[in-house]
Structure 1
Amino acid sequence: MILALLSFTATQVQAFELFGWKFFESSEEEQEAVPDPLPYEAEISVSAGEEETTSELKSASILVQEQSKPPSGEAGLLSRALSDRERLVAKLYSDGRYGGTVDISLNGLPLETALEQSDLPDARPVKVNILINPGPAFTFGKVSVSSKGGDLSTDPAFWGLTGGDVAASGKILTAENRILSILRGRGYPKARIAERRITADHSSKRLDVTLLADAGPQARFGRVSVNGTKVTDPDFVVQQAMLPEGGIYSPEDLARARKRLNELGIFSSIRLVEGEIEGPDGSLPITIEVSERKRHVIGAGASWSSTEGFGVEAYWRRRNLFGRGELLSIDGSVGRLGNESLADLEYSARIAFEKPGVFGPLTSFSTSLGAKQENPDAYKSRSITFDAYLNHQFGETLKGRAGAEVYYANEDDVFGEADYLLAGLPAELTFDNRDDLLNPSKGIFAALFMEPAYDTLNSNAMGFVKGTVSSYFALDDSKRFILAGKATAGSIFAPSVEAIPASRRYIAGGGGSIRGYAYRNVGPRVDGEVTGGRSIIELSGEVRIQVTETIGVVGFVDAGNAYEDSFPDFSEGLKVGVGGGLRYFTPIGPLRIDAAVPLDPEKDDPDFALYVGLSQAF
């Protein structure tokens, strides 16, 4: 289950803050922050025949949208009115209306007169009237696009400026941004719009546009320097940025460099500052300006479900241990609180070390030592694990790792008590192009895990294989209706189920598997007790609907089962759980509350189950 991380900050005696929102804060407290608040009432009037634009203009108006938040005195109201007039004129331009007018009066006094007098009539609240005549929509007339260098297309249609189309100002700005983006992408970092000539012919309602770009000189990446480091080795920063000195300038290379540096987790801010082009080869020096984060981090989290009880975790981390991005972390957790006696709780402790930039910027080394006790209904396991991995980033969306693992476990299950000592060579490949890790609306996540292993205590060879794929599809442009699906399959190749440690066998059920069923309680049974199996199938589907900006609802179906053989024989049908949930969207991800019902419960399965966590279920 994903842990829900909660943070509370006291703000007042009767107010508190959660996820950045303040609760139980009175309106009087909010208004006290504005000195001399001046109340007003704003109303928009649109000329006859143009009433269909009223709602859009109201949405664009600061005076209308912010009238519940009075400005500070008459000067504040006049300033707001000036800004509003500019916004409303810009809104008309964005609709291609270049002959429109916006007139604002305050207590019957025109805005220009009020600015000259710096005084308003005494009536309160101030009556603000906004009279708008949108005027006719203009269309593009003659359009010319050219450039000095860079070999750009001169076809106006290529830039979205087709003659006869509505001459929305946003189309011109979009065309300019595309021009500069293409030129920069071709190695011209100093590209600019040298000339913008726009002529509105009010008699023909046409807008003529002339755009002239100046590409400037083509550049190559020059010397890379670093500012702002205190603990971090500057040479390490340059290495991880991987900017190709001598290579043609590329905004994509800069974006990838910023992403790699950000993923180190040691900087709170990163800026890549471009210098001036130097020398006959067009060398462009780059300065990486960084601000280092605090090196010590502590945190805590909690989760709950009706079948697994409460779980708590805490961690301590030391960033940038030796000045080259190293991370030392210590984690601990306790689970099934309230469901078990103290001796039968689930707990874990782990110490881990990570070092980026070994064998090149895209490869890191990680190692960990951990101990845990697991106590689902099917078994009780006490284990110690030591592992070491090389991790490599193959591309923007593809990464992998491979290493070695030693795993010792002492376990009690339906087969009795047994000890295992596995030596394995695990490897994993992950593809991830989701648009959001905690609340994805599009993309695919896929992972494939494989590990050959040998039990040195019992002289058994075995192999583990498991793959999972999840995909997301938005049904509308605003991404309020999303379909999400997930499929998981795995096999273990071993002489028998009993030869595999119970904690490594495939058992389904629980919050991260088939919701509604007890945690790790779905699979082959002996005398009514779950043994686990050598293969597994899990399927999940969700319909996610965002009702408001902060509230969402979800309906879901989970299905799956584990089987005794290394390949599913489907001797037992899939177990199905159905349910629904609420989502509360916070700045750090959706807070999830799910309720699920098992359609075919067995021994130890509940009538229904509740789950609370942070982020979507998958």
Structure 2
Amino acid sequence: MSGRVMVATNRILAGVVLWGVTTQGGWAADPQAYTATQIKTGEADLDTAVGASSDLLALQATHAVGPFALAGRVRSDYERVRTALESCGYYAGVVHITLHQLDGGNGIRMDGQSEALANWIAAVPAGQKIVAEISVEKGPLFHLGSIRLVDQATHAPPVLNAAQTKAFGLVPGQPAVAQAVLGAGGQLLDALKESGHALARVEKPTAYLRPQTRTLDIVYPVTPGPVLDIGTISLDGLRRVHGSFIRRRLMVSTGQLYQPSKIESARQDLTDLGVFSNVTVKDASDTAVGGTMPLKFTFQESKRRAVGAELGYSTDLGARVGANWTHYNLLGNAERLRLTALVTGLGGSAQQGLGYDVYADFFKPDFLERNQNLSTRIEGLRQLFWSYRQTALLLRGGVTRPIAKNWNGNFGLSAEQEKIEQFGVTRDYTIIGAPLAATYDNTGVGNPVEPALHGVRASINIMPSVSLGDKGTGTSFFAIMNASASTYFDLHHLRISRPGRSILAFRATVGSIQGAGTWDIPPDQRMYAGGSATVRGFRWQGVGPQYGNTRYAIGGTSVDAASVEYRQRLFRSFGMALFADAGQVGSSSVPLTGTVRVGAGGGVRYYTPIGPVRLDVAVPLNRAPYGDKWDLYIGLGESF
């Protein structure tokens, strides 16, 4: 049995049969070329084990050898292949290796004596290739007989709880497969440690072969050791990150039961802070210290600053080009500050000229309490859409925290001072809002640009707002409400593709503004559709009520949209997508009103280590007046 399990009995010997031919005259080849083949048994696991164990098969295309070395390789394969047989439970199997010249000849029988084999190989003329065929006779499949666990300290069976017994898993009568027998020890060790036995040991088993009953008796030496709590926790390698912050962040504490799964979760949580390139944790002692096991966390801090570039393009919004600068540990508690400056509206069909977007984001983890994060932004922007021209200063701040499994809640405040020109009229607005949101995500994808392959993402947003307009508009109160959901289905579940290669993605969005009519709401707060976020094939703000017979969008007080997309991975780094979108914007606060617009298209993907680069082309199926004939979208990550 591989691993290797000790067998305390006489081994059943397997024979090696060597067939060959004798040639007269000619010079021997050195090195000697050969081809190795494997005769399949029809049992996939066994054939895989035999093929993986054979040096004749693995090295035939490389590491050319002379006659004596090739003979040694044959003898080595005898033992290696026999080990593969035993690892699959066949302890009475026989290994056959036959050799002959590629062009045939008179066969002779050998018993595997090394000198005779090497001499026969040496007699093969230069330019002739040897064929080596490997086959096995499986013999009967052996099963497990008695299975005993022995405590090394007391020489009695150890006392195991139900979880530990289940983790061990071996039962008499099951096939004596090495992977199961050896794996049971590792599983038992994990279960013991998870129960607080930090110093537990499970040694390699001793196996007793019983040819008469075709069984294998197993004895597993086990040393459970005492149940320990976590002792002193030391932190090493911290330079600019405050140790007090890390200790507050730690998910384990002194006096807690020693459990490797929770210790690993604590390590991963610290890694996810984004300020460490590596975090390791290990036991700080080889023996118990006062009934505890001390731990040592070691940190390697990442670079604190980074500079990046941002680039995006669509035919409706044009190009966005800019740069950002990020500090990942501003005040020593993993606070993140990002400064971004973008030039926008480069050549977009929904734009009247160049704009800008300049903002500073500040993120503070564990604000006031653990797992409660503070995000703030100050932003200055100028946007010259066909629908309106806007110059604004915005302030936003909010707190995000988990509220249930896969659910996060967000609440905050926002303030905006802006000047908007629409349809030849310029007005100033001061808008104060109190956004409240909840998000759900069980896709298991942490990177926002990494494609989801399964699960659901959903969000619900409500923002009560007050607009303090100029003399022409007065004050208005309104609430913006919207909800969206997307889900992903892997066609592998229908057994028509490999996992993660063929995905169906669905998205739906619905929104409503309550409390005020369209003309009482500032233009930038109204609802619009069109573009990659709703209906591709229609430019941004190209779906919904228009001002007269022009391309100027009025906006509305309700919106609804839906998308379906088929994503196919091609080769290693490429993929494609086909999609269809539909949506409408209404002048009523009740959704499902307005004129439905439909777009469809396709695109290609290039998969990079940070996410797919996306290029989509879409066309409107019922084009609006003054609408685009087609639209192109380029970005990082999927559209949803």
SS at match of 1:617: coil
Q: What does 1:173-572 correspond to in 2, within 5 Å?
A: 173-199=182-208, 206-211=215-220, 213-276=222-285, 282-339=291-348, 344-394=353-403, 397-414=406-423, 416-436=425-445, 437=447, 438-457=450-469, 458-476=474-492, 478-479=498-499, 480-528=501-549, 529-568=552-591, 570-572=592-594
Question: For 2:564, what is the secondary structure of its paired residue?
Answer: strand
Aligned partners of 2:560 and 2:584 also within 8 Å: yes
Aligned length: 575
CA separation of 1:592 and 1:195: change in aligned 2, threshold 3 A: same
Check the 8 A contact 2:408/2:438 in 1, yes or no.
Answer: yes
Choose the corresponding residue for 1:602, options 608, 624, 634. 624
Q: Distance in 1 between matches of 2:543 and 2:338?
A: 34
Task: Verify the 8 A CA contact 1:139 1:164 in the aligned structure 2.
Answer: no
Contact 2:231 2:289 in 1 (8 A): no
| 1:459, distance to aligned residue in structure 2 (A) | 1.3
Q: Supply the distance in 2 between the matched residues of 1:167 and 1:96 (Cα, whole angstroms).
A: 5
Deviations 1:171-203 (A, max 9, x none): 334433432333333223333323523345567
The answer to whether residue 596 in structure 2 is matched with residue 574 in structure 1 is: yes
Contact 1:141 1:164 in 2 (8 A): yes
- The one-character-per-residue Cα deviations of 1:512-562 (angstroms, maximum 9, x if unpaired) are 222222123112233143211222212222222334333333222222222
The one of 592, 600, 607 equivalent to 2:614 is 592
How many angstroms apart in 2 are the aligned matches of 1:257 and 1:56? 39
How far residue 300 of structure 1 moved from its aligned partner, in angstroms, is 0.9
- Structure 1 regions of 5+ residues with no counterpart? 1-37
Aligned-pair distance for 1:212?
Answer: 5.1
1:271·1:288 contact (CA, 8 Å) conserved in 2?
yes
Deviation at 1:299, TM superposition (A): 0.6
Aligned partners of 1:80, 1:617: CA distance in 2, in Å?
56
Whole-angstrom distance in 2 between the partners of 1:288 and 1:391 = 28
**How many Å separate the matches in 2 of 1:269 and 1:82?**
46
Q: 2:74 & 2:635 partners in 1: Cα distance?
A: 46
**Could you say if the C-alpha distance between residues 508 and 203 of structure 1 is closer, same or farther in structure 2, counting changes exceeding 3 Å?**
farther
Q: Which amino acid aligns with 2:476?
A: N
Which segment drifts farther, 298-307 or 193-202?
Answer: 193-202
Q: Deviations over 1:298-341 (max 9, x none)?
A: 01132223333332231101121122212221012223323379
Report the residue type matching 2:158 in the other structure: K
Q: State the Cα distance separating 1:266 from its structure 2 match.
A: 0.6
Whether contact under 8 Å (1:454, 1:462) holds in the other structure is yes
What secondary structure does 1:526 align onto?
coil
- In 1, are the aligned partners of 2:399 and 2:411 still within 8 Å (CA)? yes
* C-alpha contact 2:617 2:632 (8 A) present in aligned 1: yes
Q: If the length of structure 2 is used for normalisation, what is the TM-score?
A: 0.77
Question: What per-residue deviation string (whole Å, max 9, x for no partner) do you get for residues 567-606 of structure 1?
Answer: 21x3335322222333333322223232323222213433
Q: Which runs of 5+ in 2 are unaligned?
A: 1-29, 103-111, 150-156
In the TM superposition, residue 292 of structure 1 has moved relative to its aligned partner by 0.5
Shift of 1:130: 7.1
CA contact (8 A) 1:46 1:133 kept: no
What SS class does the counterpart of residue 525 from structure 1 fall into? coil
Deviation per residue, 1:446-480 (Å, 9 max, x gap): 22222211112331111122222222222326412
Cα drift, residue 271 of structure 1: 0.7
Q: Equivalents in 1 of 2:38, 2:374: separation in Å?
A: 65
| Alpha-carbon spacing, 1:499–1:590, altered in 2? closer, same or farther (3 Å) | same
**Aligned residue identity for 2:620:** P
2:480 alignment partner AA? F
What residue in structure 1 maps to residue 18 of structure 2?
Answer: none
The 3 A distance-change label for structure 1 pair 385 and 476 is: same
Contact 1:381–1:502 at 8 Å: present in 2 too? no
State the TM-score, normalized to the length of structure 1. 0.79
Q: Measure, in 2, the Cα distance between the counterparts of 1:377 and 1:587.
A: 37
Task: Supply the distance in 1 between the matched residues of 2:376 and 2:607 (Cα, whole angstroms).
Answer: 35
What CA distance in whole angstroms lies between the structure 2 residues aligned with 1:602 and 1:346?
A: 26
Q: 1:144 aligns with which of 143, 147, 150?
A: 147
Determine the C-alpha separation between the residues in 2 that align with 1:140 and 1:48. 23
Tell me if structure 2 keeps the 8 A contact 1:364–1:391: yes
1:190-230, CA deviations, whole angstroms, 9 ceiling, x for partnerless residues? 33323523345567654444445443222212222210111
The answer to whether the Cα contact below 8 Å between 1:40 and 1:128 also exists between their aligned partners in 2 is no
Q: CA RMSD in A?
A: 4.3
What SS does structure 2 have at the residue aligned with 1:549? Answer: coil
Measure the CA separation in 2 of the matches of 1:348 and 1:291: 35
